[in-house]
């Protein structure tokens, strides 16, 4: 009897032959305007403390990303680094996830239009979830996932957001995510790739959709 796996993370994994997608909650996102349609992801590493993802435009598309953009998701933190190695430009977004996401956004270097830093608080209404195609490293997402059913309880603006995932060894793992406006303080249980709370994403990503927080070019 095939044993069941859980990817205890809001990075919902769906495997179909050689195609893998992950559903990424996105700070400041707009469900009607998906910036990830023109992006691919490579999983650099995945473990209970952090999942690291490299983002890039799909071939022959200008999706607005910088040459190097790295997203790191953990149980209660979110970080994106979009510093450009080819110019005098650095930019990061660091979020602490509790009852809401408190994000410090910084930009620096001679190429930054508005160097400096700002702090923004995002609630559940500022989160959208997008599917992102994984082109490399998908096996790292489930390499350490063990056990049977588990769940992740994550934050929302005044309550909780929950996500669960389940599947079989035949190669399908699916995830769901929901947000409610009432509930208790956040908690998380995870055994595989880093559990990510519902408030995370890319409000400060350098994408053409304009999610730059006014700090970047």
Q: Which two tokens stand for residue 83?
A: 């510093």
Q: How far is CA 202 from the centre of its chain?
A: 7
Q: Which residues contact 59 (CB under 8 A, 6 or more apart)?
A: none
**Dist CA 173 CA 4 (whole Å):** 9
Beta-bridged to residue 85, according to DSSP, are none
- CA angle, 43 as apex, 72 and 95 as ends, to 5°? 10
Distance between CA atoms of residues 30 and 32, nearest Å: 5
193 inside domain: no
**Of 162 and 14, which is predicted with more confidence?**
14
> Residue 195 falls within a domain, yes or no?
no
Residue 147 CA: distances (Å) to CA of 49, 62, 169: 18, 41, 12
Q: How many domains does the chain have?
A: 1
Among 16, 3, 1, 46, CA closest to 174: 16
Does the residue 215 lie in any domain?
no
83 falls within a domain: yes
Q: CA-to-CA distance for 183 and 63, rounded, in angstroms?
A: 37
- What is the β-pairing status of strands 152-155 and 127-136? unpaired
Residue 214 lies in a domain: no
Q: Is 125 a member of any domain?
A: yes
Q: Is residue 73 part of a domain?
A: yes
The model's pLDDT over 88-109, given as tens digits with 9 standing for 90+, comes to 888 888 887 777 778 888 888 8
Residue 56's SS3 state is: strand
Alpha-carbon distance of 168 to 170, in angstroms, equals: 5
Quick: pLDDT tens for 94-152.
887 777 778 888 888 888 888 888 898 888 777 667 788 888 888 888 754 432 222 22
Sequence-distant (≥ 6) Cβ neighbours of residue 18 within 8 angstroms: none
Question: What pLDDT shows up at residue 176?
Answer: 29
Domain that holds residue 9: 4-188
100 part of a folded domain: yes
Q: Cβ-count burial of 212 within 10 angstroms (0-12 exposed, 13-18 middle, 19+ buried)?
A: buried
Tens-digit pLDDT profile for residues 175-202: 322 222 223 333 223 334 443 332 333 4
Q: With a threshold of 0.75, does the pTM exceed it?
A: no
């Amino acid at each position: 009897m095939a044993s069941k796996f859980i990817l205890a993370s809001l990075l919902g994994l769906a495997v179909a032959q050689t195609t893998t997608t992950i559903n990424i909650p996105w700070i400041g996102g707009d469900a009607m305007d998906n910036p990830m349609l023109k992006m691919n992801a490579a999983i650099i590493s995945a473990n209970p403390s952090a999942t690291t993802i490299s983002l890039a435009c799909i071939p022959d598309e200008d999706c607005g990303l910088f040459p190097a953009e790295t997203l790191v998701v953990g149980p209660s933190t979110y970080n994106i680094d979009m510093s450009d190695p080819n110019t005098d430009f650095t930019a990061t977004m660091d979020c602490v996830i509790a009852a809401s996401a408190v994000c410090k956004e910084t930009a620096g270097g001679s190429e930054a239009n508005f160097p400096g830093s700002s702090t923004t608080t995002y609630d559940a209404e500022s989160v959208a979830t997008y599917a992102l195609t994984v082109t490399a490293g998908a096996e790292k997402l489930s390499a350490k996932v063990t056990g049977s059913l588990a769940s992740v309880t994550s934050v929302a603006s005044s309550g909780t957001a929950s996500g669960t995932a389940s599947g079989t060894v035949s190669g399908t793992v699916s995830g769901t995510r929901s947000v409610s406006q009432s509930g208790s303080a956040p908690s998380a249980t995870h055994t595989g790739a880093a559990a990510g709370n519902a408030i995370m994403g890319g409000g400060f990503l350098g994408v053409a959709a304009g999610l730059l927080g006014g700090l970047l070019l």
